[in-house]
A and B are shown apart, each in its own frame.
Chain A
Amino acid sequence: MASGYNAKEEDGHHSGAPGNGGGAGAVKSKKPDNTAFKQQRLPAWQPILTAGTVLPAFFVIGLIFIPIGIGLFVTSNNIKEFEIDYTGVDASSPCYNCARNFSWNSTSSCTCSVPFTLEQPFESNVFMYYGLSNFYQNHRRYVKSRDDSQLNGDQTSLKSPSKECEPYRMSDGLPIAPCGAIANSLFNDTLELYYVVNNSKTPVTLVKKGIAWWTDKHVKFRNPGGNNNLTVAFQGTSKPVNWRTPVSELDPTDPENNGFINEDFIVWMRTAALPTFRKLYRIIQKKADLTPTLASGRYVLEVSYNYPVRSFDGRKRVILSTISWMGGKNPFLGIAYITVGSVCFFLGVVLLIIHHKYDNRNNSADIPN
């Protein structure tokens, strides 16, 4: 295909034509300029590389990577993480019934309580994530199925959302706000955490603000017509089909967290990279006193089970995790660094041996022609 793409025909053309056209041409001195560039003598640094200079690179890289890897690994191990799968696949699971009976069409929510025990106390801030598996939030059509203008508070887009939102664009003749599949499939389980002491449940304070990116909250997502009276602003639009409440009632208690700038909604709209992912749900702030954020002991997770995943073999989890400078627990990176560092080291040794072998052989052998 690309073979047609070459310049030669033309080169032929102009080198042939003018030169002969009468045999006359201006007689100029053809002396080329004696400049470093034209003579290809640009001053340059030419590293003289021998095995002696290159081989140490492997060891140096190894020596850099392995400590980094160990550091990462240790950091990751120091992070406390607790994961609860509340999908309700097993019959023994407390949410089994909810999972079996629930579908998008259910009108009332189903609640279930998952008890669990923390063996160790969680110091510092604890991040509470919900995790989904086998949920293809990175599917191209899913990713596209949104209208950023609408979410940015654009009035025209609010009334006539982008075509990308099909089939979640219009509902009963009214434009859907927010439109599209992502919004429509908003994760809507409600999770509450209780600390159980002597059979009495103390609710753990979950902070629901500050979980979204700053740019998302302040730039990308904006309510139409400012933040005054969202009911008016969203008048003439329809809620997404799967939603129970209209967008203006996502968090009626806090106007700063309602409508498009509802942080749960914003977090959901930032689509995940891979089919198994977690999303920040709440933050449990460190207490002012010296008691741990989450003391060891028994807890109950109260779930209002609204989000069906069984149809596609999905899993729903709740993850409690402390964080470090590198974010949540991530053993992979540390191991990967150690592995690559070791491989470099090993390669260095192998190449060193080869180098010695080769050098010796050369010393004894004839000069190759």
Chain B
Amino acid sequence: MDKLQHRKQVSKLIYDRTPMDLAELAVAEAVRMKPLPGNRTATCVTAEGWADASKLTWEVRANSRQHYRRCRKRSFLCFRWGRCADNAVRSYKYSPLTFLPLTLFEQFHRVANIYFLLMVVMQSVPAISSLRWYTTAIPLILVLMVRGLKDLASDLARRKSDSQINSQSCDVLDSQRFCTVMWKDLCVGDVVRVHKNQIIPADLLLLCSSEHYSLCYVETADIDGETNLKYRQALSITHNELTSEPSEKGLADFDGVAFCEEPNHRLYTFRGYLRWRGEDHVLNNEHILLRGTVLRNTEFAYGLAVYAGADSKILRNCGKLRVKLTHVDRLLNKVVIGIFVFVLLLSFFMAIGHGVFESQVARDAPALSALTPNGDFIYSAFLTFWSYVIVLSPLIPMALYITFDVVHVVHSLFINWDVEMRWEKNDSPARARNTSLNEQLGQVGHLLSDKTGTLTQNHLLFRQCCIAGRIYGDASISVEETQQMDLSWNPFASGQLFMSAPELVQQLKARRCPFSKEFFTALALCHTVMPERSKEGIAYKASSPDEEALVGAARDLGWVFHSRTRDNLTVLELGVTREYRVLAHLEFTSQRRRMSVLVREPGGGLKLYCKGADMVILERLLSGCPCLEDTERALESFAQACLRTLCVAVRGVPEELWEGWSKILTQAETMATSERDSTLETLYEDMECDLLTVLNTKAMLCTHMQLLGATAIEDRLQEGVPETIEMLRKAGLKIWVLTGDKTETAVNIGYFSKLLDPDTSLLEGQELREILHSADPGYSVSKARQADAWCVNKEMVWAKTALVISGPELAEFDKEPGIGAKLMGLAAQCQSVLCCRVTPGQKADIVQLIRKHSSSITLAIGDGANDVNMIKTAHIGVGIAGVEGGQAVQNADFSLAQFRFLQRLLLVHGRWSYRRISFFLLYFIHKTCNFALVNIWFSFFNGFSAQSMYENWFIAMYTAMYTSFPIQLFALFEQDVSAEGSLRCPELYKVGPRHQLFNPLTIAAMLAQTLFTSLVFFFIPYGVFHDSPLDYQTMAVTVSMAAIFCVDAEIVLLTRYWTLFNAIFLCISFSFFFSVTRLTQQPRLFLLAPDDYFFVGVSEKAFADPLVWLTALLAGWTAALPALIAFTVNIIISGPDKHRVHTISTPQLTEFRSKVKRIDSGRRSPRATSRTAGKGDVITSGTARHRGEPLLEDKLTADNGAIDLKMMPRDRRLPPLPPREPKPCEARV
């Protein structure tokens, strides 16, 4: 059993795409679980089962509630005792009593806070204190408060959601009677009754259920996102013993003891044994109902709670999200550490300066020498070092991190709130699950996308079929335009069949064609779908949309799959109920690529229905099958229309063959696991294969596989995918599609979704291998492509080439060292890259490869469990909350409902965030440093004595009140270009991936500016105050004023989006400075505490002094001058560009569109396609071209003969033109 379980997981991992496969595996496996005669499940104790029995230390006694109440886990502060958790979820961290100590404890884990606490302590040492204690304490307390409030708010939210979960009700057996209790009161060892459609409250050991053999079905969507139903089955012994008697009494007397593993996070394994009535019965995953799953199709099930609450597998599983640091974060940390080191260095130099001053100058000045502590200048310098650490501590932007946090959270909220990223259809908005990656969204260089369910809808529609060589339906008519057939005769018709083939319906109703009858019988029988009957009709539960579409189509056309029991399938064939007995399920594997079902018809005959990939089926047919050629042609046309195809075949099975075969099957079932798999493999092969040769000798009744036809399912592109991809490409993103699908499908989707231009050539297979192995890949490609007509220049070759790599090739490349770098070099120049047939592991490897060989930010987007690996590996993981459910979303940093929302997420939110945050950080560091650095220049004129340039209150309020609001509002609201503008000019996005706004260079420029600013702040007042009767305190106020003027002028220059809040808060913080300064320099306050308010009367005098104003204005203005210059230069340089791109492209484009509209048939020759669209793309993308150069089109026609048609994509439909009309982009940047 374990082996099988293991194999299931392996196949899950290695085989991409195909929830279908997974479902089939799951069901096939479940079918195999069926108890064979002889009660095998209970007694089959394998060697492995007992080998680690010593590890099974978790003992659960049924019906011993008191015992488990006693050993509950409890905790007080950091002490914990007790063994097993109760069933309550406690994700909250604080209680009213512990909130304050815990939150403080947590916050002082952060180095920055400890540093500032240290500052506060140091400031209260009189010998070194150069500032009063509150200069640091006030900002620190503010930071702690904001942080604490944030913690408190999120903790309250957690409490709320906890109590919602904990107060759900469930039925627990309490002395012979089931009574309803809340989830949190459930105990390990309780016997629980779960009703249909109830959520399972704890990890339960299934004892018995209302169904036969105590089977029960669970939906695990909340755990692994798979929507198909899973089978679970009780042990035979419990089933037999507990369902025979009246269940409540029996259950109350149940005194089994389950021994199992200690609680762990492994969702798919469970080991243990049940000791009951002196016998041991092996338990595995099949006997466990996990918390969080939902009971379906089963009236009720009884279970023994094994793991409760925090011990349950799902809660053990919801680990923390991996901490992802963004590029900006890392750079910021470096800058802050740099500043810290700088502070220490400066303090050191200042201390030396102080030593020199004390020994050379102060020695001779009696007024100063008397003040040197102990008269020892070295000791004095030592003390001064610490004084300078204090004086310069405002250089370290303490409030930055907390403000940064707040900004991040609000940006994430903006994403959550965006109605334009909300999918009306299923009411799912975008979610930022990780609130710290926003700015990185604006820097994405590589987009790695899954195909199915991400680019495509994974909502499959049965569009065409080919029965006996004849094609029904027309996929070239779009779904919306397809005429609905009149299926009112069929009460089960859902109206979701987008195929127009009245002749087929006629044929079916008249029962004229045995082929079509068999065809739909096959569709109705050969699958693993579970039907769910409701008042509205029958809903099919399938994990794979493929199967759902097929079974649904059969239903709509009159072959209604009605119900499934363990052995029987009921089908209503045009209203006639027919029951088929299932003899064997020939499961799907990725190697076999087909599945079959062997049934006994109501008439008694045996039939094998088989469905699978065309290649596999066709090669198993009897040669000379009548409509083989027609079907092959049909398959080809289906493939060209981007439809997924499956072939359906049937064979009659002679009775004697079945008898022989079933005997071997029974033997095989009892074999040891390792042998069994291979035996089954061959056995299945035998059954499905054309056994003509064997049978001819044995039986005259010769039957063989007969082709019935082929199905064509459309996996439609999601709405807006081509437009999104086109836009993202314009934004400079490299898009890689990673899929488990086959190459042709992927390439087709590539062309279809505008990932590849119609005239893009593919570089794949042998050619790729050669190029990679050559010394200079770039050169070889140019050389190889020189013959091609459209090789105008080197860049053009690359711009029109796409790499196609398959999984096996990738694995091959993996082994060779150095090839990764070459591959990346090649890929960097190519238009895009398609990776087909890749496993989830390889998807992650590709992400790793990109991360290793380029500095670009990777974003992985996917929807299925197979994308989880990739999503976790990439810098940013985006999950599509689509058909495949929760797994991808659970692991993603962002979740979207549709692929097309990606453009808004990146081009609007990401771009804004990056811009806002970059400028916010630069400005924030600038504003804290420039005012603090003045102290250094002042030192040269005060004997390096660590005298502060500012009043204490100013230092305390500067970051917290005078300058923080405008920049915070900037970081929240700033928009250089509106959302529409950002989408209209995707090129604007390129700033982010190139790290143009926040990089070492901009930081250096900012620091240089800071240096200049601080020099101006000091030396202009110096010129005025030198040899003047104005005192130190007036100068302090003057410099403060200058700093405020400058900082406010700079934010005015920075802000381009002036909301009312910006203006108001700018005025408020500006007037704060004046009012608070006046307030703290009030005589009344001075009289209260002369030591703290010793600037009494200064501002009163200074604010009335024109000299002070003129000095401060001049200094403030001069300091802001570099910002204004940068601002102007930026406008001069960037202004015209933006104008021009759009004014030029508009008229030509309209002309081109009108031309295209005339040709509107679905299909056209490859050349026509490439020509028109080729030119269009050149024009729309605004590619640089020299005037004299002939247009691509001209080249094509001129060198007509030289065109290598192989280089052209195969015949395909012209991708639909986006209906949008580009508007001129405003030149607001």
Contact = CB atoms under 8 A, between A and B. Distances in A.
A2 B1107 contact: no
A279 B942 CA distance: 18
Contact of A30 (B110, B222, B429): B429
Contacts of B1059: 42-44
B943 A136 contact: yes
B947 interface: yes
Interface stretch (B14-22, B440-448, B785-793, B1133-1141): B1133-1141
Contact of B1096 (A134, A220, A359): A220
B1119 to A, nearest CB: 11
A324 to B, nearest CB: 10
25 contacts: A3-B336, A6-B329, A6-B401, A12-B323, A16-B321, A18-B165, A21-B318, A22-B201, A42-B973, A57-B1124, A139-B371, A139-B947, A140-B130, A140-B945, A145-B371, A181-B368, A181-B370, A278-B1028, A312-B361, A327-B1029, A330-B1028, A332-B1024, A337-B1114, A367-B1137, A369-B987
Interface string B832-864: 000000000000000000000000000000000
Contact of B434 (A11, A17, A44, A131): A11
Nearest to B129: A144
Given A13-B91, A14-B91, 6 more contacts: A2-B110, A17-B91, A30-B429, A31-B427, A42-B973, A140-B942
A362 B1031 contact: no
B1118 A340 contact: yes
Interface string B360-385: 01101111101110000000000000
B346 to A, nearest CB: 16
Contacts of B1034: 273
Interface string B1058-1089: 11111000000000000000000001001100
Most buried by B among A1, A131, A343, A359: A1
Contacts of A327: 1028-1030, 1105, 1107
Most buried by B among A29, A61, A135, A277: A277
Interface in B945-979: 945-947, 973, 975, 979
Contacts of B422: 30-32
B200 to A, nearest CB: 8
A141 B333 CA distance: 36
A19 to B, nearest CB: 7
Contact of A136 (B89, B126, B368): B368
Nearest to A149: B1090
Nearest to A33: B417
A24 B292 CA distance: 8
B161 A51 contact: no
A167 interface: yes
B1227 A18 contact: no
A277 B396 CA distance: 33
B1121 interface: yes
A104 B365 CA distance: 12
Given A21-B91, A219-B1086, A337-B1114, A273 B1031 contact: yes
Given A2-B336, A12-B323, A340-B1117, A330 B1107 contact: yes
A100 interface: no
A10 to B, nearest CB: 7
A195 interface: no
A209 interface: no
B1127 A5 contact: no
B110 A4 contact: yes
B1185 interface: yes
A231 interface: no
A143 B158 CA distance: 54
B261 to A, nearest CB: 20
B1226 interface: yes
B818 to A, nearest CB: 32
B1090 A351 contact: no
Top 4 A-B residue pairs of the complex, sorted by shortest distance between their CB atoms: A215-B1097, A23-B222, A17-B91, A12-B320
A271 interface: yes
| Chain A interface extent, by class | 35 or more
Nearest to A168: B370
B245 interface: no
Interface stretch (B111-119, B272-280, B464-472, B993-1001): B111-119
B603 interface: no
B114 to A, nearest CB: 9
A150 to B, nearest CB: 9
B315 A32 contact: no
Contacts of A129: 1029
Contacts of B1226: 48
Given A20-B314, A20-B318, A366-B1184, A8 B1032 contact: no
Nearest to A136: B943
B51 interface: no
Most buried by A among B946, B1097, B1182: B1097
Most buried by B among A3, A163, A277: A3
A288 B675 CA distance: 126
A135 B420 CA distance: 68
Contacts of B1114: 65, 333, 336-337, 340
Interface in A37-89: 38-40, 42-51, 54-55, 57-58, 61, 65, 68, 72
B53 to A, nearest CB: 31
Interface residues of B, number: 151
A12 B364 contact: no
Contact of A181 (B323, B371, B1110): B371
Interface in A290-335: 311-314, 325-328, 330, 332-333
A351 B1133 CA distance: 11
Nearest to B976: A46
Contacts of A337: 1110, 1114
Nearest to B1136: A362
B164 A26 contact: yes
Contact of B1110 (A29, A40, A42, A333): A333
A22 to B, nearest CB: 5
A42 B1090 contact: no
Interface string A182-195: 00110000000000
Interface string B1035-1048: 10000000000000
B419 A32 contact: yes
Contacts of A359: 1136
Contacts of A40: 414, 418, 912, 973, 975, 979
A148 interface: yes
A29 B941 contact: no
A270 to B, nearest CB: 5
Given A139-B362, A369-B1182, A18 B91 contact: yes
A164 interface: yes
Contacts of A42: 973, 1059-1061
B751 interface: no
B536 interface: no
Given A2-B337, A44-B973, A366-B1184, A351 B371 contact: no
A330 B1030 CA distance: 12
B294 A21 contact: no
A219 B320 contact: no
B320 A16 contact: yes
A8 B1028 contact: no
Contacts of B1107: 326-327, 330, 333
A354 B365 contact: no
Contacts of B109: 4
B322 interface: yes
B783 interface: no
A138 interface: yes
Interface in A124-140: 129, 131, 133-140
Contacts of B1105: 327
A20 B292 contact: yes
A272 interface: yes
A13 B1117 CA distance: 47
B434 A15 contact: yes
Nearest to B384: A140
